[in-house]
Amino acid sequence: KGEVGNTEVNLMKKQVSALQGQLTMLQAGLAKFQKVAAFPSGQIVGNKAFVTSGYEGNFDDLRQRCLQAGGQLEKKTENAAIQQIAIIHKKAVFLGINDIQTEGRFKHLNGDDVTYSNWQLGEPNNDKGAENCVEIFVNGKWNDRFCGENRLILCEF
Ligand code: 293
Ligand code: CA
| pLDDT number for residue 73 | 66
Task: Point out the ligand 1 atom lying closest to the alpha carbon of residue 145.
Answer: 13
Task: Point out the ligand 1 atom lying closest to the alpha carbon of residue 124.
Answer: 12
Tally the C-alpha atoms within 13 A of residue 59's C-alpha that lie toward its C-beta. Answer: 22
Domain ranges of the chain: 1-38, 40-156
CB atoms within 10 A of CB 81: 20
Under 8 Å between Cβ of 95 and 143: no
3-state secondary structure of 150: coil
Fold of 40-156: Mannose-Binding Protein A; Chain A (3.10.100)
For residue 145, report the distance from its CA to the centre of ligand 2, in Å: 5
- Give 127-143 as a 3 state SS string: HHHCCCEEEECCCCCEE
| pLDDT number for residue 63 | 86
ipTM associated with this complex: 0.97
Under 8 Å between Cβ of 155 and 66: yes
| pLDDT number for residue 144 | 98
Question: Phi-psi bin for 117: left (phi > 0), alpha (psi -120 to 50), beta?
Answer: beta
Position 104: which residue type? Answer: G
Tens of each residue's pLDDT in the chain, 157 residues: 556 678 999 999 999 999 999 999 999 999 999 888 888 889 998 888 898 888 999 999 988 887 765 556 667 889 999 999 999 999 999 999 999 999 999 998 888 899 999 999 999 999 999 999 999 999 999 999 999 999 999 888 8
Q: Is the CB–ligand 1 distance for residue 145 below 6 Å? A: yes
- Give 53-89 as a 3 state SS string: EEEEECHHHHHHHCCCCCCCCCCHHHHHHHHHHHHHH
| pLDDT number for residue 47 | 84
Q: Which of 131, 139, 143, 147 to mutate to test the pocket of ligand 1 (most atoms within 8 A of CB)?
A: 143
Atom 1 of ligand 1 has which residue's CA nearest to it?
Answer: 127
- pTM (2 decimals)? 0.84
